[in-house]
Amino acid sequence: MTRIRTISLSLLLAILAAGFATAAPKKPKSVIHVITIQWKADATAEQIQQALRAAENIDYPGIKNVWTKPIKMQLPEGYKHIIVMEFESEEALKKYADSPAQKQWYEVYMPIREESRTHDITN
């Protein structure tokens, strides 16, 4: 009986150790593309929502995820929104520039964008 307890305890400790070992943050090779946006003064709420929806629906195979609903923002004066796109790789981000998918989104986004700043991050 003691041997079974010892084996069970060892197995439990091994499982817990494996769980803690995998709990460390991962360092994916995807690229996070952060866009902070200042809209034109005459941009309507509906136009802004259309631009955000268009970003959420970009049809480009190199984009893994898109976020458009910030929870907390510490933006410079005049900047009102953040859009984040996750690309599979640096190469996917490079190929996205001037692609038909980007141009299609720009048709809705650029007419109401006053200024934007981008930040690209990877490991």
Residue 18 in any domain: the answer is no
Residue 54 in any domain: the answer is yes
Of 2 and 5, which is predicted with more confidence? Answer: 2
User: How does DSSP classify residue 35?
Assistant: E
Lowest-confidence range among 21-35, 51-65, 76-90, 106-120?
21-35
Residue 83 CB burial class (10 angstroms; 0-12, 13-18, ≥19): buried
Q: Which of 27, 34, 106 is nearest to 75 (CA)?
A: 34
CATH code of the domain containing 56: 3.30.70.100
Residue 10 in any domain: the answer is no
Domain that holds residue 56: 31-121
pLDDT in tens, 80-119: 899 999 999 999 999 999 999 999 999 999 999 999 999 9
Residue 13 in any domain: the answer is no
What is the pTM for the complete model shown? Answer: 0.78
